[in-house]
Structure 1
Amino acid sequence: MNAKVDELSLPEIDVEEFRKVVRSRRSVRRFTDEPIPDAVLEDCLELATLAPNSSNLQPWEFYVVKTPELRGKLAEACLGQNAATTAPVLIAIVARPDTWRRHAQLALDEWPKDEKLPPIVEKYYKKIAPLHYNQGPFGLLGAAKKTAGLAVGLARPVPRGPYSVNEMKVWATKSTALAAQNLMLALRAHGYDSCPMEGMDECRVKKLLNLPSKGLVTMVLAAGRRAENGVYNSQYRFDQKTLVHYL
């Protein structure tokens, strides 16, 4: 289940199987009480963490709630939505804009032992990342970087941020959302379903789960086996001509 793909010899992939996963994934509002096997849940979470993310700093955390009492309280904090009250598993998916420094060191410490660490990678995590992501006391370093970026950007392309604490929140949330999508697709591939919920009282969720103060609850994901009445309506999307632009 957790076999590692050899990147140098890519496996044959059946796009129709992937299409089935994507097209059958729905935001399920009601679940059966069938539990998700631990091995399946662990595999889905591993696949979630394989999502692409900024500088491989993996600015996310997953809080898996299965115990009935705590799950009931978390469902209440999710405004009592049917998805929250019926799911056997609730997962708080948390973006961490504050872990970049520790994770930069982890990126070096956990570099594959059978591969030589390229000097450019070591330089990035030791020198570039600390400058790029650090906003400094009261955001003063971020403001200075923004000013410098505006000046240098007049002559050539430059990275535009993150230049503030709020931009760091956006930075972390983008990568975390990619991991959340991986998780939802992995659950569907295993025959289970999910519902991403933004409708919640984040303050209560953070207090209930004792989350880090700087963590951002990107969503609470309800997960389980789809009930017969779990999908409320047919799926539809806007005309692609409205949203897709070829230049």
Structure 2
Amino acid sequence: MQQSMTVKEAMESRHSVRKFVQEPVVKEGLQEIINQARLAPSAWNLQPWRFHVVTDPEMKAKLQDAAYGQQQVTSAPAVIMVASDMEDVVANLKQTVHPGLSEEKKQEEVANLAAFFGGMTVEERGQWGLAQTNIALGFLLLAAQGAGYSTVPMLGFDPIKVRDILGLPDHVKFAAMVPIGHKDTEGYPHHRHSVNEIAFFH
């Protein structure tokens, strides 16, 4: 990977790209991007995000079909499915409790979390985890840009088909499908609301 940009540079230079250079993304580069994305904050540090990295051409072709034929899916050398799996989180709550806590505090924390999420339906837990996972999605996009890669976050796909392709259970939610690679064309320049249109200081 190239030398990282500052966060500001990554924010200002990132554009969605839909055509990529036909060269593979090295596994180590993808691992480092995910290593940075996993540092995103989450309530109670539950970290419900899971990253499914697809580079196999046949599987990417299936994902393209699930994404209604959108060409960027197979144009990109890799596709990252950013998912949330709250049922896995709830089944392994001890893994998210900070190791610096006393054993008594750890047990108390696990009991409180189990009671909180036990009062939700699977769907409610899924939506809660998805909101947290969207934070990690933002981190992922900036980490990729900072490392010299382009991305395009996509929501236009059939989640049922994607779960089937990846062999995932029905409760898994997706924050986005993210084709990633080196850009072959420039994205459109930013067209954003001004600060005065979206920020209200009270």
Q: Please, what TM-score do these two structures have when normalized by structure 1?
A: 0.74
Question: Cα distance 1:81–1:177, how it changes in 2: closer, same or farther (>3 A)?
Answer: same
Q: 1:242 aligns with which of 177, 197, 201?
A: 197
Q: Is 1:173 equivalent to 2:130 in the alignment?
A: yes
Give the residue type in structure 1 aligned to 2:200.
Answer: H
Partners of 2:63 and 2:162 within 8 A in 1: yes
Q: Please, what TM-score do these two structures have when normalized by structure 2?
A: 0.90
Q: 2:34 aligns with which of 41, 45, 51?
A: 45
Question: Could you tell me how far apart the structure 2 residues matched to 1:204 and 1:186 are?
Answer: 28
Deviations 1:219-243 (A, max 9, x none): 111000011x241x22111122221
Question: Could you tell me how far apart the structure 2 residues matched to 1:33 and 1:132 are?
Answer: 47
Partners of 2:15 and 2:189 within 8 A in 1: no
Structure 2 alignment gaps of length 5 or more: none
Give the residue type in structure 1 aligned to 2:115.
Answer: L
Q: Is 1:217 equivalent to 2:159 in the alignment?
A: no
Structure with higher Rg: it is 1
Question: Could you tell me how far apart the structure 1 residues matched to 2:102 and 2:153 are?
Answer: 38
Give the residue type in structure 2 aligned to 1:73.
Answer: K
Paired residues for 1:80-91 under 5 Å = 80-91=69-80
Partners of 1:63 and 1:92 within 8 A in 2: yes
Q: Equivalent residue for 2:102?
A: 117
Q: Equivalent residue for 1:58?
A: 47
Give the residue type in structure 2 aligned to 1:48.
Answer: A
Give the residue type in structure 2 aligned to 1:54.
Answer: A
- Secondary structure of the residue that 1:98 maps to in structure 2? helix
Paired residues for 1:132-211 under 5 Å = 132-135=116-119, 142=120, 164-211=121-168
Deviations 1:100-149 (A, max 9, x none): 322312124xx54xx45374444112x211111112xxxxxx5xxxxxxx
Question: Could you tell me how far apart the structure 1 residues matched to 2:169 and 2:50 are?
Answer: 10
Question: Could you tell me how far apart the structure 2 residues matched to 1:241 and 1:55 are?
Answer: 33
Give the residue type in structure 1 aligned to 2:72.
Answer: A
Q: In the comparison of the two structures, how many residue pairs are matched?
A: 199
Q: Percent identity?
A: 27
Structure 1 alignment gaps of length 5 or more: 2-15, 136-141, 143-163
